[in-house]
Amino acid sequence: MENSQSAWEGKNSPFSPWPWFMMGKVGSLAQKNTHNTTGEDAGGYYDWALIEMEQLKPNRIRPRKLSNGEIQGKDIASGDLLMPTTPPCSNGKRQPVTLLSGSGGLKRGSPSPLPSRLLLGPGNTFVDTLILNLDDGQEIQDGDSGSWVVNEVTLEVYGYVVVADSFGGGYIIPLLEAFRSIAASLGSFSVRLATTADMAAVKLEDDRSAAYGPLVSLGNRPGPAFQEADW
């Protein structure tokens, strides 16, 4: 194992694939998306899945030291990632965003102000999407599917990558659209991103239940978001 690890760490690229010995179970599939059958977007597919996490971690962008010594994310605002309040480019101006890339750390870019739609199987209806264009010749790569697109100033999560285009950019499912789909699938009134306070409340409830037995239910407790943004 030492030889394998040394070989991996010695690669020139700071974004080498994760070796097998760094992988492990993070959770279990709790709910998988099927195309909606009711509502305005009946037949639409949003390519999401809910994971019951083994360990909750905050939805935050944390500085990350790469193998080449570069520190990514140190200039990004700190705090919990948030639900978007307005669509990107709603003011007609270029909106800088950061892709929390699964293949290569943080990648900066901007969403196109032009509308777009995408047909994702097994759905049979087009769904609204955003088009993300990356800066400095960067491209969407294998491993970036599901990566979140975040406003690094307001910390709003605009959506997540589902498809790359032929120009190196990508199609983004808007977070609000995806969460509406999740709520419809679960029969919930609303779905939102979990905050650090939400996760602390869940842990406190679990600790109390372990110590004293189940407590009287106070309603649906907050659950974690469907992807961890831990960089």
Confidence of residue 231 (pLDDT cuts 50, 70, 90): very low
Q: Which residue has the tokens 């979990």?
A: 194
- At 21 the pLDDT is 54
Going by CATH, does the domain composed of 27-208 fall within 3.30.930.10?
A: no
Instruction: Pick the closest to residue 31 from 52, 45, 3, 8 (CA basis).
Output: 52
Q: Identify each DSSP E strand in 80-156 by its residue range.
A: 97-101, 105-111, 116-118, 127-134, 148-150
Phi, psi for residue 210 in degrees, rounded to 5: -65, -35
The pLDDT tens digits for 168-212 are 889 999 999 999 999 988 888 888 998 888 888 888 888 888 887
Contact 169, 140 (CB under 8 A): yes
- At 162 the pLDDT is 95
Tell me the whole-structure pTM to 2 decimals. Answer: 0.75
The pLDDT tens digits for 82-112 are 999 887 877 777 788 999 988 778 899 999 9
> Domain map of the chain by residue range?
27-208
147 CB-contact burial (10 Å; exposed 0-12 / middle 13-18 / buried 19+): buried
